[in-house]
Amino acid sequence: MTSPSLSFPPDFFWGCATAALQIEGSTEADGREPSIWDDFCRNHPERIHGRATPEPACDHYRRWQEDLDWIGKLGHNAYRFSLSWPRGVRGLDFYDRLVDGLCARGVAPMATLYHWDLPSRLGSWENPAVPEAFAEYVELAARRLGDRVTHWMTLNEPAWSIMNGFVTGLHPPCVQNLDRAFQAGHQLMRAHHLALARLRSAGVRGKLGIALNLSPVRCAGTSAKDRRAARWADDYLNRWFLEAVVHGRYPQAAARRLRFEQVLDNPQPVDFLGVNYYYPKWVAHSQRPTQFHLNTSGQSQEKCQFSLQGRLQFVDSPRAEKTEWDWEIDPQGLEDLLLDLNRSYPGLPLMVTENGIGLREDPSCQDDPQRIAFVEAHLQAISRALAQGAPVKGYLMWALMDNFSWLNGYQKRYGLLAIHPETLERRPKASAEWYRRVFQTSAGSKS
């Protein structure tokens, strides 16, 4: 099955990613406080497929040792997980044991400091006190785990937090207001730079970065208006956050256009850039009323919609192969993205921190040829990017196991490990063994 065209450096990182809220469960254990997602699920059950909640998720908080054993058995040399800020200091005891367990198995611990589970008491990212509160938490985590974590990611997908929290309103705090979106985005970027400063002053040993969701933007029309719409999407969905991270300032022309006057104080460089890639965006000009919709049912006739009146809409690609959740499958987009990043920021180390496919699978499913084909095609894309000089350091597949897929509940399954919905038993799918064989043939893995 493994393609001969896959070629990776010997020190490449191979593993999977997860996020605390999506796998841990135990949302009231050991003094954990509520997060905005716990509240959202409680207050708006109808917005989540099957009225699912992050409880019990995969019960990872209690079954973590078994999960680490799986990571070891599957031969991974890296694991990306997130720290649950709502668990506070007591939660750090848990992550301390987790990190020790990873090190004992020869797996590089890669920690995301914020993956969407904002403590409810802080309100939302519009609150200008949040970045400092985050930095204080980061400092505690740095002191506790800084001697062993190999890679730190401050935030997961700030653009997606802002897009869904403040533009589409589909995620908490369910706001639909562009001005407020950019102000909240600014607090996220302040938090990112403050966190890097704290990690550095704490003297952590790991490399410092962030995981950005990035998509190549493809213009779907031929008019000047279409080209302007595509530029707008690229400027604000990709470049806005990239420039704020890499150069510590917002892209000038894009900021001027919005009359956005915020600046980032004491910006900090990153050691690497985490890239979460799922699909490209096809963009055209639009006069259609502003409208947003995400397919959360997995019924392929349910179309995702994103249109900002007078500005743009996302449209179907002319040649799209799609998942049941209406997400385009385009491995070429990943190669294009990695090459574009290397052109824009030459030499900046890149890590694919998420990439994977959500499928409707029977809980007892062990055969997942679609996932194997998806990952293989994306690994080929990375391999081509590497051959053209893009400094890609690792691939972390989303996800280690089936999990709470936000608005999609538990029906959309991403795991190498299947989780039985009632017994929570873990079972490797065919992709898990396939993935192990892929990197066994590369010198960088434990075999």
Pick 274 or 428: Cβ nearer ligand BGP: 274
> Nearest approach, Cβ of 211 to ligand BGP (angstroms)?
7
Pick 157 or 324: Cβ nearer ligand BGP: 157
Q: Tell me the window of 89-97, 140-148, 406-414, 425-433 that interacts with ligand BGP (CB under 6 A).
A: 406-414
Distance in angstroms between the alpha carbons of the first and the last residue of the chain: 18
The answer to whether residue 358 forms part of the interface with ligand BGP (CB under 6 A) is yes
Concerning whether 354 is annotated as a catalytic residue, the answer is: yes
The answer to whether residue 213 forms part of the interface with ligand BGP (CB under 6 A) is yes
**Residue 42, number of CB atoms within 10 A of its CB:** 10
The answer to whether residue 156 forms part of the interface with ligand BGP (CB under 6 A) is yes
The answer to whether residue 19 forms part of the interface with ligand BGP (CB under 6 A) is yes
> Nearest approach, Cβ of 363 to ligand BGP (angstroms)?
17
Q: Which helix (H) or strand (E) holds 194?
A: helix 178-201
**Residue 10, number of CB atoms within 10 A of its CB:** 8
The answer to whether residue 408 forms part of the interface with ligand BGP (CB under 6 A) is yes
Binding mask 115-154 for ligand BGP (x = CB under 6 A): ----------------------------------------
Closest CA to 161 of 243, 51, 330, 40: 40
- Residue 180 · residue 188 · CB < 8 Å: no
Cα–Cα distance for residue pair 94/96, rounded to 1 Å = 5
> Nearest approach, Cβ of 408 to ligand BGP (angstroms)?
5
443 - beta bridge partners? none
Closest CA to 162 of 83, 236, 246, 231: 236
Tell me, by CB under 6 A, how many residues bind ligand BGP. Answer: 14
Cα–Cα distance for residue pair 179/348, rounded to 1 Å = 31
> Nearest approach, Cβ of 17 to ligand BGP (angstroms)?
8
Concerning whether 66 is annotated as a catalytic residue, the answer is: no
CA-based torsion, 274, 279, 285, 289: positive or negative: negative
| DSSP state for residue 85 in the 8-state scheme | G
**Residues with a known catalytic role:** 157, 354
Binding residues (CB under 6 A) for ligand BGP: these are 19, 22, 156-157, 160, 213, 276, 354, 358, 398, 405-406, 408, 412
